[in-house]
A and B are shown apart, each in its own frame.
Chain A
Amino acid sequence: EAQVTQNPRYLITVTGKKLTVTCSQNMNHEYMSWYRQDPGLGLRQIYYSMNVEVTDKGDVPEGYKVSRKEKRNFPLILESPSPNQTSLYFCASSLTSGDYNEQFFGPGTRLTVL
């Protein structure tokens, strides 16, 4: 089944404890992206990747890191999480970043930072 997977789905952690949220797609997509979704603020892009070893900042990159060593994986790293990073996170992928490509979303990761 073609899909985007994320792990973990739910995570409660404490301030300053490094964590990684994994994202993997099995559709051979070039483009991958991370979003966070907060009430009243909608979906905001954190980082995106056009292809392997190519990443760039989105609208809200502060406090996050990403890497794209393989085409299928795009992990999101929080080196020192803070309570303002409590949010619902979505990974998404599309065939390319071109005009007419649908983005497929993962199931989401609900992160709580205490």
Chain B
Amino acid sequence: QKEVEQNSGPLSVPEGAIASLNCTYSDRGSQSFFWYRQYSGKSPELIMFIYSNGDKEDGRFTAQLNKASQYVSLLIRDSQPSDSATYLCAVKNSGNTPLVFGKGTRLSVIA
């Protein structure tokens, strides 16, 4: 059974701080990694994706991937109250395989 593990939280950070969200996965064959944000009662929306080891930056968001250690993380710089949401890590193997989601980490940014 392919597993994607996330700490459920809540992770509380003060406004302006860096929020660090972590995700580990069990399938070494995983090729692509996605971070989705989901506000309460709403549908998930893609924030970032990463395929190669290292860092990928997009505005205040940085995704980090370490395939050897089988973890992927999301850093949110200058956290804002509007970043308060559940963040879902999703992992995909190559080919016609399904996207496997973690259960999500709830982030709370305190003003």
Interface residues of A (CB under 8 A from B): 33, 35, 40-43, 45, 48, 50, 58, 90, 97-100, 102-103, 105-108
**Interface residue? B62 (CB, 8 A):** no
Q: Is the interface of A mostly helix, strand, loop or mixed?
A: loop
Q: Establish whether residues B51 and A100, one from each chain, have CB atoms under 8 Å apart when the complex forms.
A: yes
Separation in Å of the B61 CB from the closest CB of chain A?
Answer: 15
Q: Total interface residues on B, using CB and 8 Å?
A: 25
**5 extra interface residue pairs, beta carbon distance < 8 Å, beyond A102-B46, A105-B44:** A33-B99, A42-B88, A43-B88, A97-B96, A103-B99
B34 and A102: CB pair below 8 A?
yes
Distance A105 CA – B49 CA, assembled complex (angstroms): 16
| Contact A42 B104, CB 8 Å, known A50-B96, A100-B49, A102-B34 | yes
Interface string of B24-37 (1 = CB under 8 A from A): 00000001101000
Q: Which chain B residues in 8-50 approach chain A with CB under 8 Å? A: 8, 31-32, 34, 41-46, 49
